[in-house]
Amino acid sequence: MYPFTAHPRLLPHQYSELCSFLEKISGIVLGEGKEHLISSRIGKVLRDYRLDSFSELLRAIQSDDNMPLRMAVIDAMTTKEANWFRDQSHFMMLQNVMTERAGELGAFRIWSAACSLGQEPYSIAMTIEEFRRGSRFFRRPVEVVATDLSEGIIADARKGVYCSLSMVQGLSDEQRKKYFIPNGDCSEMRPDLRKMVSFRKLNLLDSFAPLGRFDVIFCRSALVYFSLANRVDVIKRMAVALKPYGYLFLGAGETLEDGAGLFEKAVWPEGVAYRLKPLRRVNPESVK
- Binding residues for ligand SAM, rule: CB under 6 A, are 26-28, 78-83, 86, 114, 116, 119-120, 148-150, 153, 203-205, 220-222, 251
- Assign 282 to helix, strand or coil: coil
- Interatomic CA distance for residues 96 and 102, integer angstroms: 10
Task: Specify whether the CB–CB gap between 38 and 46 falls below 8 A.
Answer: no
Q: Which of 180, 226 has the CB closer to ligand SAM?
A: 226
Helix, strand, coil fractions of the chain, as percent rounded to 5: 45, 20, 35
Q: Which of 91, 179 has the CB closer to ligand SAM?
A: 91
Considering the complex, what minimum distance in angstroms separates the CB of residue 209 from ligand SAM?
A: 15
- Assign 95 to helix, strand or coil: helix
Considering the complex, what minimum distance in angstroms separates the CB of residue 206 from ligand SAM?
A: 8
Residue 217: other Cβ atoms inside 10 A: 27
Side-chain-facing half-sphere of 240: CA atoms under 13 Å:
17
Q: Which of 26, 187 has the CB closer to ligand SAM?
A: 26
Considering the complex, what minimum distance in angstroms separates the CB of residue 241 from ligand SAM?
A: 14
Q: Which of 200, 277 has the CB closer to ligand SAM?
A: 200
Considering the complex, what minimum distance in angstroms separates the CB of residue 224 from ligand SAM?
A: 8
